[in-house]
Amino acid sequence: MAETKIYLDHNATTPLHPEVKKAMCKAMDEFGNPSSMHSFGREAKKYVEDSRSEIASFIGADTDEIIFVGSGSEANNTVLSIFSCPSKGCMFHSEMKRVVITTAIEHPCIIESSKCLRDRGFDVKYLGVDSFGKVNIKQLETMLDENVGLVSVMMANNEIGTLQDIALITDMAHKNGALMHTDAVQAVGKIPVDVKKLNVDFLTISGHKIYGPKGIGVLFVRKGTPFCPFVRGGHQEMGRRAGTENTLGIIGLGKAVKMRKKEMEEEEKRLKGFKDILKRGIEKSISDAHFNGHPEDCLAGTLNVSFKGAEGEAILLYLDLAGIAVSTGSACASGSLDPSHVLLATGIGPELAHGSIRISMGRSTDKKDVEYVLDILPGIIKKIRKMSSVYSRGGNNVSK
């Protein structure tokens, strides 16, 4: 095994920020239940509310618009599930609209939840995207009418990094009386996000994507927006998410957000520079490489590239042997042998989609890491292509 260890899979998860680890270790003895009235409970409650204030100010929200949940997936499931709640006591019951619009490139937790909605009799419509992964705005115009209850569009794609114009899409949704949700798991902490400017009704955040702990997320719910709990049976989070609060996770997330305030802007510039070096280096040293995602409106640290005549999983494994960790797409879809639904939606063929890798850089990435990838990757692609009977015959059967 290689002695070199380079982690370039930050869109899957990030290492704990040292300051987050320090804050969580310091708080390890704070075992009180934040709902308890005694001093132990009050101390834990103060930690929870301090973190809530930190997160709210980071995205321009009020503190009572922040709900702590177990993950980004839970937050997304909460938003989609409230539209199918059959309870007569539900705030949505009397005004339920049975059409939901989302996109073909969402995270699996949105795709699978929307399939459940279909099974419950809802009409779910999927927006297409262009070759860069940008939502088809004209198609959205034709889909929107008074029957649409919710539009859900992710802010930054987890596989290709393409950013959507959420403010524009929200405006279109609201003009037609629909609520707007954005899965901002890959965006918050990487680009500036202000819920007041975006005017969204729901927004999802995950702790472990921004150097915080796993098992903690946030659902922003705009004040006055109808809401129905996904997890019931407790008064926590003002009755909107039952279950004893994950105090340590909340403390870690609050600290992670505090550090993002300090480091995000510089990091975005640095990663953009590394991405440019990587892209130019690959273009120069490897033929038949196809870059996925928008060239400008894209996360600074995300580079998705397909290689004709090379399987993504083989590239990943050879890179891993050389000490470089990348992915072939979403970590939540890693058990599937199917080509990426995101890449297929952008119009590339299944063979090329199978030949893609995602390089996602983060705060620990430095120039030496990028140079090492450029030293190693061309040889790996050459080796894999030599074993490919299709590519060795000229790659004519490999569709783009």
Q: Is 332 a catalytic site residue?
A: yes
- What's the pLDDT at 83? 77
Q: Six-digit token pair at 141?
A: 């115009």
Reference 298, options 149, 191, 391, 179; nearest CA is 191
The answer to whether 122 and 84 are in contact (CB under 8 A) is yes
Task: At 322, list the tokens.
Answer: 């050389």
CA distances from 131 to 178, 300, 363, 381 (A): 27, 19, 29, 24
The closest of 65, 109, 131, 48 to 306, measured between CA atoms, is 131
Burial 71-101 (b: 16+ CB within 10 A, else e): bbbbbbbbbbbbbbbeeeebebeeeebebbb
* Cα gap 228→281, rounded to integer Å: 50
Residue 394: predicted pLDDT? 60
pLDDT in tens, 58-115: 999 999 999 999 999 999 999 998 877 777 666 665 567 889 999 999 999 999 999 9
In this prediction, what percent of the chain has a pLDDT beyond 90? Answer: 84
- Rounded alpha-carbon distances, angstroms, from residue 304 to 160, 164, 294, 359, 365: 5, 17, 10, 6, 17
Question: Could you read off the pLDDT of 183-242 as tens digits, one per residue?
Answer: 999 999 999 999 999 999 999 999 999 999 999 999 999 999 989 888 988 899 999 999
Q: Contact at 8 Å (CB) between 312 and 356?
A: yes
Q: Which of 85, 90, 116, 332 is catalytic?
A: 332
Tens digits of residue pLDDT in 281-305: 999 999 999 999 999 999 999 999 9
Environment class of 135 (CB within 10 Å of its CB; exposed 0-12, middle 13-18, buried 19+):
buried
Confidence (pLDDT) at 399: 41
Alpha-carbon span 286 to 186, nearest angstrom: 29
